[in-house]
């Protein structure tokens, strides 16, 4: 049986020989110059996003929305069947009251994200990574796997496949089947080697986007746990990004992965096969995919933030109109009806609704249309082709 050994071939490449799983090589394998333009765009967008007004109403609403979206996405990647709306509702339940394992997976993910947020850095440092430890990895897997009725997946314990046990990753549709290391001694050795490479000075000085992406990629190749590797791998990526100030985008990017799930899975296999052929830029596809996803994600976050700011300004203006009696209470209630239902209807269609009939009981139809005219003139409802709509649909 070969002895375990490690050798740094150069300052960015660590080759590892295991007992039973052959050799592994941790390396960049990238054309960084080709990536740099997109990296710069991501960092510029993140810097601008981090400077968004830190109003509690904006932060709280964005945090709640992104949390539910991120958890829905990462859970769906692993086969979860809850809808985005069901996910959001389950996350509002006290985890102590949840017994169902499928629901527990969602609240476990929330607790893991909460733990990561304790380590976040508010200032963007795109080329200054921070070390991660084996304890960080075990903590994340423990949080993901806790209190779930899966005896075959003990939290924070690495696999040790017996001769009859198989661990198979992937399928033919996404580039083929991959069999990760099975021997506990090999998995432990590879995990320590992976962390040694990831925390090496030159790797720490790489763009954090590159380091986070490759941390995710190599973790999935080792596939150290019985279950939860996908969720844990994305959380590791999130931890590295949050440590360097990629706030919100660090988990929001999971939506991009879920929406492009076939490419996401296929690139793991594609890059693995290119690395086996010793291609110089074997990892370019996966890293480029992640960085492009980050750019598109942050762009969407900017839009969401801008919409929330406009919404707050709208509500302040509405409150001011109520306070200064520029609009009647009936008019305010009509506007709030549009806001609550996000409807687009003509004044005639709206007038037929029972709730509007109650609101205008004892008033003439002319009064109703005069109220509508005043609302539109004040700019609180927009009109298009005879229909009215709340401006933030």
Q: Which residues are annotated as a binding site for ATP?
A: 227-234
- H or E element, residue 143: helix 134-145
| Sheet with 13-17, edge to edge strand ranges | 5-10, 13-17, 23-26
| DSSP for residue 225 | B
Class of residue 337 by CB neighbours under 10 A (exposed 0-12, middle 13-18, buried 19+): middle
Q: Which residues are annotated as a binding site?
A: 227-234
DSSP string, 241-255: HHHTT-TTHHHHHHH
- How is residue 310 written in tokens? 């406009």
Rounded to 5 degrees, φ, ψ at 279 are: -70, 140
Which tokens go with 291?
A: 């960085």
Exposed, middle or buried by CB within 10 Å (0-12, 13-18, 19+), for 122? Answer: exposed
DSSP 71-86: HHHHHHHTT----HHH
Find, among 56, 83, 248, 227, the residue nearest to 156 by Cα.
227
Residues taking part in catalysis: 223
Burial 225-250 (b: 16+ CB within 10 A, else e): bbbbbbbbbbbbbbbbbbbbbbbbbb
Buried b / exposed e along 272-302 (16+ C-beta atoms within 10 A): bebbeeeeebbbbbbbbbbbbbbbbbbeebe
């Amino acid at each position: 049986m070969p002895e375990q050994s490690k050798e740094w071939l150069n300052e960015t490449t660590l080759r590892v020989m295991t007992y039973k799983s052959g050799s592994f090589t941790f390396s960049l394998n990238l054309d960084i110059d080709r990536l740099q333009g997109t990296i710069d765009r991501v960092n510029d967008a993140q810097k601008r996003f981090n400077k968004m007004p830190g109003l509690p109403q904006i932060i709280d609403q964005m945090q709640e929305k992104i949390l539910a979206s991120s958890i829905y996405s990462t859970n769906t990647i692993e086969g979860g069947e809850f809808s985005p709306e069901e996910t959001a509702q389950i996350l509002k339940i006290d985890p102590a009251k949840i017994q169902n394992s499928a629901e527990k997976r969602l609240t476990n993910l929330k607790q893991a994200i909460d733990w990561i947020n304790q380590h976040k850095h508010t200032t963007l440092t795109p080329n200054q990574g921070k070390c991660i430890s084996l304890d960080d990895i075990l903590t994340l897997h423990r949080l993901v796997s806790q209190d779930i009725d899966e005896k075959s997946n003990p939290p924070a314990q690495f696999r040790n496949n017996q001769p009859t046990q198989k661990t198979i990753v992937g399928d033919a549709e996404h580039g083929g089947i991959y069999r990760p290391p099975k021997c506990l001694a090999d998995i432990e050795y590879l995990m320590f080697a992976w962390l040694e490479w990831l925390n090496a000075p030159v790797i720490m000085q790489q763009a954090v986007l590159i380091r986070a992406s490759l941390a995710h990629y190599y973790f999935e190749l080792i596939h150290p746990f019985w279950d939860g590797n996908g969720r844990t791998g994305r959380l590791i990526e999130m931890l590295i990004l949050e440590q360097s100030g990629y706030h919100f985008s660090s988990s929001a990017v999971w939506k991009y992965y879920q929406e492009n799930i076939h490419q996401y899975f296929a690139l793991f296999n594609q890059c693995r096969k290119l690395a086996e052929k010793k291609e110089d830029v074997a990892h370019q596809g996966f890293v480029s995919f992640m960085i492009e996803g980050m750019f598109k994600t942050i762009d969407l976050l900017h839009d969401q933030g801008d919409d929330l700011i406009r919404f707050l300004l709208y509500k302040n203006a509405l409150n001011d109109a109520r306070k200064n009696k520029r609009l009647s209470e009936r008019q305010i209630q009509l506007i709030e009806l549009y806001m609550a239902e996000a409807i687009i209807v003509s004044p005639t269609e709206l007038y037929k609704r029972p709730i509007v009939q109650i609101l205008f009981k004892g008033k003439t139809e002319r009064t109703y249309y005069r109220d509508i005219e005043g609302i539109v003139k004040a700019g609180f409802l927009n009109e298009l082709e005879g229909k009215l709509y709340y401006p933030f649909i």
